[in-house]
Amino acid sequence: MAKGPAGLRLTGGHAGGRVTRERVPDGVRPTSSRVREALFAMIGQDLEGIRFLDAFGGAGLMALEAWSRGAQVTVVERSRPIAASLRRRAAELGARLDLREGDVLTMALDPVDIVFADPPYALGTTPLEVLWPLAGDILVLEAARDVRIPDRAGELVLDRVRVYGGSQLAVFRRSE
């Protein structure tokens, strides 16, 4: 099961530079360090006291990056083996994450300040319909490069889109 890449390095915060030994399970697409660095350059490096939701946990790198920058992190992962791998990766780093197993699209969750969604690329922008009400200020969608990003996600307005290789980051913010 876990034959994927190991040695995933955090890019910033108090755990920046630390590397996990836990292998990424097959079929999980870890967010590249370039994309992670770009995201936190867009939303901020200091997340102290911020509530952060990683809606599709996978390798958990965004959750761990947010934790390393001071956020209170909730992670949702529907696959039990992938969640177990993420749990081991977090334990390796001493990370405190609220890890929940289940489908984020049907789960009852409390609103947070920032939602990060890196769904399976086949879902496209569908998760935006369910996730935008959970985002107090910012919702970030990582999607395949060829996915058309809408101008709005409910009450959130598209702020910027950046393309990195085969993926893109879309940042939506609450309009004033």
Q: Is residue 33 part of a domain?
A: yes
CA angle, 25 as apex, 21 and 26 as ends, to 5°?
135
Is 72 or 176 the better-scoring residue by pLDDT?
Answer: 72
- Mean pLDDT, all residues of the chain: 91
What is the predicted pLDDT for the residue at 1? 46
User: Is the pLDDT assigned to residue 149 strictly greater than 50?
Assistant: yes
Distance CA 87, CA 40 (A): 23
In whole angstroms, give the CA distance from residue 176 to residue 104: 27
Is the residue at 71 inside a domain? Answer: yes
Report if residue 163 sits inside a domain.
Answer: yes
Instruction: Kindly tell me if the per-residue pLDDT of 4 is higher than 80.
Output: no
37 in any annotated domain: yes
Asked whether residue 165 is domain-assigned, the answer is yes
DSSP per-residue letters across 107-174: S----EEEEEE---GGGTTTTHHHHGGGEEEEEEEEEETTSPPPSEETTEEEEEEEEETTEEEEEEEE
Domain membership flag for residue 123: yes
Residue 152 has pLDDT above 90, yes or no: yes
> What's the pTM?
0.92
Whether 158 shows a pLDDT value over 70: the answer reads yes
The model's pLDDT over 92-119, given as tens digits with 9 standing for 90+, comes to 999 999 999 999 999 999 999 999 999 9
Rounded CA-CA distance 123/158 in Å is 19
Q: First CA to last CA across the chain, in angstroms?
A: 46
Q: What is the CATH number of the domain that holds 116?
A: 3.40.50.150
Asked whether 99 and 89 are in contact (CB, 8 A), the reply is no
Evaluate if residue 120 carries a pLDDT over 90: no
pLDDT digits (tens, 9 = 90+) for 49-82: 999 999 999 999 999 999 999 999 999 999 999 9
The count of domains in the chain is 1
Q: With bands split at pLDDT 50, 70 and 90, how would you rate the model's confidence at 24?
A: confident
CA distances from 46 to 70, 101, 137, 174 (A): 7, 27, 15, 19
Q: What is the mean pLDDT of residues 30-41?
A: 90
4/152: higher pLDDT: 152
Task: For residue 6, name the pLDDT band (cuts at 50, 70, 90).
Answer: low
3 domain residue, yes or no: no
Given this model, what pLDDT does residue 7 score? 66
Domain range enclosing 84:
8-174
